[in-house]
């Protein structure tokens, strides 16, 4: 099936409509070496691969703006905040559910989690079928470090400025989360990095991508089992 954005409404009416996959990203700083849309690139790539493996799925356009207030002290970041994002995601589930049996969000940004969890709780309380999948990895490498840099080397290497990569703050997320939420990432890391991108590689990026896709397939199958 083609991506939803490429269909006419008569085309959309006759396709097999089970799960609508919606990639969710952000526009925010990713250190001096990665583009602002890194989370969006990763989420969209996982969503496209998941869609390609499931002919009963649909692929919605990317939700490009997320809750990125913790990065707002860095130029280029555009955040709509948790409250607005919760509303957007909730309304997407409600409207998509008129035509699709379920909705699966593919989330590329950890800062979207609060809004995503709130939207899913409300959607399921209203008897809609909705779930989410995303990235899981090293808790000492949570932003623009070796994991995201490796993924971008695999997915879009021409946009990675590896010569600018340098280590950032590498404490576990649990130790810095409160400070990050109250004062922002720049209070913790002057270069905006939480991790060490100098350890990145394309091979690792391919491995991380495949792992994320397999995780997405597991969530997809769990969702369809609820039909």
Q: pLDDT tens digits for the chain (227 residues)? A: 679 999 999 999 998 899 999 999 999 999 999 999 999 999 999 999 999 999 999 999 999 999 999 999 999 999 999 999 999 999 999 999 999 999 999 999 999 999 999 999 999 999 999 999 999 889 999 999 999 999 999 999 999 999 999 999 999 988 998 999 899 999 999 999 999 999 999 999 999 999 999 999 999 999 999 99
CATH number where 129 lies: 3.40.50.10310
Give the span between the Cα atoms of 180 and 165, in whole angstroms.
Answer: 21
Q: In total, how many domains does the chain have?
A: 1
pLDDT at residue number 2: 76
Give the span between the Cα atoms of 38 and 20, in whole angstroms.
Answer: 22
Are the C-beta atoms of 108 and 39 separated by less than 8 Å? Answer: yes
Q: What are the distances in angstroms from CA 167 to CA 31, 40, 160, 225?
A: 10, 23, 15, 43
Give the span between the Cα atoms of 18 and 21, in whole angstroms.
Answer: 10
pLDDT at residue number 16: 83
For residue 149, give its domain range.
4-224
pLDDT at residue number 136: 86
Give the span between the Cα atoms of 130 and 72, in whole angstroms.
Answer: 30
Pairing of strands 102-107, 57-59: unpaired
């Amino acid at each position: 099936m083609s991506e939803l954005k490429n269909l006419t409404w008569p085309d959309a009416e006759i396709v097999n409509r089970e799960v609508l996959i919606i990639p969710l990203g952000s526009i925010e700083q990713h250190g001096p070496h990665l583009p602002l849309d890194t989370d969006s690139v990763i989420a969209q790539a996982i969503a496209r691969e998941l869609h390609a493996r499931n002919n009963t799925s649909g692929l919605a356009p990317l939700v490009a703006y997320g809750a990125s207030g913790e990065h707002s002290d860095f130029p280029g970041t555009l955040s709509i905040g948790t409250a607005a994002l919760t509303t957007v995601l909730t309304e997407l589930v409600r409207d998509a559910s008129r035509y699709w049996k379920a909705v699966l969000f593919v989330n590329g940004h950890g800062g979207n989690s609060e809004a995503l969890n709130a939207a899913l709780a409300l959607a399921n309380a209203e008897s809609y079928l909705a779930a989410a999948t995303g990235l899981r990895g090293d808790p000492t490498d949570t932003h623009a470090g070796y994991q995201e840099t490796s993924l971008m080397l695999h997915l879009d290497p021409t946009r990675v400025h590896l010569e600018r990569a340098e280590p950032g703050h590498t404490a576990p997320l649990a130790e810095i989360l409160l400070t990050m939420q109250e004062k922002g990432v720049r209070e913790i890391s002057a270069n905006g990095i939480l991790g060490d991108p100098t350890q990145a590689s394309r091979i690792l990026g391919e491995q991380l991508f495949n792992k994320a896709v397999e995780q997405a397939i597991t969530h997809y199958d769990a969702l369809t089992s609820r039909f």
